[in-house]
Structure 1
């Protein structure tokens, strides 16, 4: 049976092993390790899927700034190779996004495969003027608005 839940401190080694296995190297594991001691680390948005005491999928939302306002970045997202294409990645991403929505977070950015992330509602970020060092990735640079933002006009507009 698979349990999707918030990462616990004792999961850190399993997350590292999963990232190294899924990505075939240490870069993503180093990223997560570098984020852990910073203000960008939000433990309530570090989600694992566990099967038989083993971490088999992972999704992380960490803090970023967009135009002076707080937002989230999704990544890394990983699934152990033998369990890929079985819905585990979607499960941890959906759970992380649900938690962020419940926490009243506003915006999530991701650099990833558009066909995959579109299923969660992500759209290309460039048309919205949100840029980063990954903007050159084209449609792979994406955003998801977690809640509506209301535009408020001054009273003079009500006369129209």
Structure 2
């Protein structure tokens, strides 16, 4: 098998339709009912922290970070992280994760949250959120609610409901 030449770059506005089709293939219509999706409703993902993976001109992966409030702490919710099913198990998801987390660190973000499998995300430093500390807008298996502190102590300060990242005022 030949190695793929994969390019990871910032997501562009013109990528939106292709990424939506990718999400549809990967997650199906049930994606709209998930707690993490509900956090993203009506809030635009952060273009500084959202990336696509391409093989040639074909988008084969995407990761987005969207601003949220974790109690009174500004945070980012990661997701969806999506890889075209035919391109899975080639390191594309890991490459997207590393690039998004690097960008979040460079932008002085303090905390990244996600709902996912701890065995996969632990290699990037994610840990289970302590039970009862934060609440998502809908049911979620507490073992799948994960956090990564980019600033020491950020998770300890985050308490209460996780809500969409609209400005407070």
Relative to the length of structure 1, the TM-score reads 0.81
Distance in 2 between residues matched to 1:26 and 1:128, nearest whole Å: 26
- Paired position in structure 2 for 1:132: 136
Equivalence for 1:63: 67
Distance 1:6 1:134, change over 3 A: same
Larger radius of gyration: 1
| TM alignment of 1:88-127, pairs within 5 A | 88-127=92-131
TM-score computed with the length of structure 2 as normaliser: 0.77
Q: 2:146 aligns with which of 122, 127, 142?
A: 142
| Structure 2 residue ranges without an equivalent (≥5) | 155-169
Q: Is there any run of 5+ residues in structure 1 with no aligned partner, and where?
A: 151-160
Count of matched residue positions in the alignment of Structure 1 and Structure 2: 147
Give the superposition deviation at 1:135: 6.7
Structure 2 equivalent of residue 25 of structure 1: 29
**Aligned-pair Cα RMSD in Å:** 2.6
Once the two structures are superposed, residues 122-158 of structure 1 have per-residue CA deviations (whole angstroms, 9 ceiling, x without a partner) of 00002582232357412100100012249xxxxxxxx
Name whichever structure is richer in helix by fraction. 1
Shifted more, 128-137 versus 1-10: the winner is 128-137
Tell me if structure 1 keeps the 8 A contact 2:109–2:150. Answer: yes
Higher RCO, Cα 8 Å, sep 6+: 2
Q: Report the Cα distance in structure 1 between the residues aligned to 2:131 and 2:28, rounded to whole angstroms.
A: 33
SS of the equivalent of 2:51 reads strand
Q: C-alpha distance in 2, partners of 1:133/1:45?
A: 23
Misfit runs of 4+, over 4 Å = 34-37
